[in-house]
Amino acid sequence: MRNGSLKLSKYSIGTGDRFAHQAKAQLQACMQALDSGIEVVPVWNKSNREHTIIGSEPASVREAADAAVKALDWKLPYFCDADHITLQTVGRFLDSCDFYTIDVADFIGQPAAPDAIDQFVARHRELPGRIQLEGTDEAFEITPESLRKTAQKYLTAVGKAGEVYRTILHSKGEGNFISEVSMDETDGAQSPIELLIILAAIADEGIRVQTIAPRFTGRFNKGVDYVGDVPQFEQEIALDVAAIAHAVRQYGLPENLKLSVHSGSDKFSIYPAIHAVLKRFDAGVHLKTAGTTWLEELIGLAESGGDGLALAKEIYCEAFAHREQLCVPYAAVIDIDPAGLPSPDEVRGWTSEQYTSALRHVRGAAAYNSNVRQLLHVGFKVAAGMGRRYLDLLESNEAVIAKDVTENLYARHIAPVFLGRGALGGSPVAVEGKTASHAF
Ligand SMILES: [Zn+2]
């Protein structure tokens, strides 16, 4: 087994490509970032849930990524992420992925064995007491009781992450993959101090974690904006970043360890806060977006008119008819108001402009409809069921769709987060140096 030393760059963007047709257009967004003077490395993520709904295999993600990289002559690293995998699902991803998001959310709160807690507490005499995180004004007090409580809540989950990690390690060899531990798909947010304690446990497990995805406060619904208190979020991620830096020094974790923000896409209102924190701490971030590229495919089809528009309408009507079933797997991460959904009859009468302006996420735009956007976001199963009919139209309208995909990823996500530039069509994002109007 080759002994590599794969390392994730400071800035990276996770992007989904449900139908494996847009990797080139997505990579083009990273090329644009490079032209703007910043290296943002692409990571193509696809979960087992998505593969199962679409009927695809992880190898298809690898093939699409490799082909895009070759076509555009991309010289920087790139990765394929087995997104949200567990011990049950990791197997099918071992050949084609080199990035693993180990999801342990289901095990959070399963009480750890008293022995394991005792050992953890005995091993970490440095934790109880007052902790001042470098670069912040806040000091935290960890009591012996709060340490035991946190250990009890998280040690089982971290142990599970260790099992998955060692499965991958055994198959791929040290240094030949990037590992992330994710805890975002759970109800309660982890505090920065919990994050520090979790990282101590991750180090004990021997997991060479390069990204960690906590659950933040606020709602991260798929494909729509953040719902929550933005200044509080900024304060929280600043402390998370400081806690990570502390853990790297204290526990010898990989020095490039950074936060992974599972954004669910389109969290435009917190992008300036993320950018401000990156600047303040000179920190990196992995911004994981959801499969909203698929919505750009629909926008491009609708924009193209004719058969493309007709198919985009048909998909809406089908998704509307089956909305309850489609929403089930995503119930925790969508909020659709059924009364806000236009009827299929109404949508059948829409022009290209009406369809695209309802779906395109432009903050403050009168025609934008977040209910339509969320329904179509989970409606990719309808398109998957159309098979070649859908793919043929993607191919015959490639130019229009590719332009939408690239522009969306670059202007709405990469530019505001990594360059601190205003998002397309949204309310203005403060320029660098003027973002400090938040909590600090
Ligand atoms: Zn996630």
Residue-wise pLDDT for 82-93, tens only, equals 999 999 999 999
pLDDT the model gives residue 97: 98
Q: Is the pLDDT of residue 438 over 80?
A: no
Question: For residue 306, how far is its CA from the centre of ligand 1 (angstroms)?
Answer: 36
Question: For residue 49, how far is its CA from the centre of ligand 1 (angstroms)?
Answer: 12
Q: How many angstroms separate the most distant Cα atoms in the chain?
A: 69
Question: For residue 185, how far is its CA from the centre of ligand 1 (angstroms)?
Answer: 6
Q: Is the pLDDT of residue 420 over 90?
A: yes
Question: For residue 251, how far is its CA from the centre of ligand 1 (angstroms)?
Answer: 25
Question: For residue 289, how far is its CA from the centre of ligand 1 (angstroms)?
Answer: 9
Question: For residue 129, how far is its CA from the centre of ligand 1 (angstroms)?
Answer: 32
Question: For residue 307, how far is its CA from the centre of ligand 1 (angstroms)?
Answer: 35
In angstroms, rounded to a whole number, what is the distance separating the alpha carbons of residues 424 and 407?
Answer: 9
Give phi and psi for 402, each to the nearest 5. -60, -40
278 within 8 A of 304, measured Cβ to Cβ: no
What is the average pLDDT score of the chain? 93
In angstroms, rounded to a whole number, what is the distance separating the alpha carbons of residues 61 and 98?
Answer: 12
In angstroms, rounded to a whole number, what is the distance separating the alpha carbons of residues 234 and 226?
Answer: 12
Percent pLDDT > 70 in the chain is: 95
* Segment (H or E) for 130: strand 129-132
Question: For residue 158, how far is its CA from the centre of ligand 1 (angstroms)?
Answer: 16
Question: For residue 103, how far is its CA from the centre of ligand 1 (angstroms)?
Answer: 8
Compute the average pLDDT of residues 310-338. Answer: 93
pLDDT the model gives residue 434: 31
In angstroms, rounded to a whole number, what is the distance separating the alpha carbons of residues 74 and 77?
Answer: 8
Task: Quote the tokens at residue 347.
Answer: 């949508």
pLDDT the model gives residue 439: 25
Task: Render pLDDT for 151-182 as a digit per residue (tens, 0 to 9).
Answer: 999 999 999 999 999 999 999 999 999 999 99
Question: For residue 84, how far is its CA from the centre of ligand 1 (angstroms)?
Answer: 7
Question: For residue 263, how far is its CA from the centre of ligand 1 (angstroms)?
Answer: 8
Question: For residue 350, how far is its CA from the centre of ligand 1 (angstroms)?
Answer: 34
Question: For residue 216, how far is its CA from the centre of ligand 1 (angstroms)?
Answer: 11
Question: For residue 97, how far is its CA from the centre of ligand 1 (angstroms)?
Answer: 17
Question: For residue 374, how far is its CA from the centre of ligand 1 (angstroms)?
Answer: 17
pLDDT the model gives residue 424: 56
Question: For residue 344, how far is its CA from the centre of ligand 1 (angstroms)?
Answer: 32
pLDDT the model gives residue 293: 95
Task: Render pLDDT for 132-156 as a digit per residue (tens, 0 to 9).
Answer: 999 999 899 999 999 999 999 999 9
**Nearest to residue 203, comparing CAs of 248, 151, 170?**
248
Question: For residue 323, how far is its CA from the centre of ligand 1 (angstroms)?
Answer: 22
Question: For residue 343, how far is its CA from the centre of ligand 1 (angstroms)?
Answer: 31
Question: For residue 227, how far is its CA from the centre of ligand 1 (angstroms)?
Answer: 16
Compute the average pLDDT of residues 306-310. Answer: 98
In angstroms, rounded to a whole number, what is the distance separating the alpha carbons of residues 82 and 61?
Answer: 10
Give the pTM: 0.93
Task: Quote the tokens at residue 337.
Answer: 């108001």
Question: For residue 122, how far is its CA from the centre of ligand 1 (angstroms)?
Answer: 32
Question: For residue 15, how far is its CA from the centre of ligand 1 (angstroms)?
Answer: 12
Question: For residue 369, how far is its CA from the centre of ligand 1 (angstroms)?
Answer: 24
Radius of gyration from C-alpha coordinates of the chain? 22
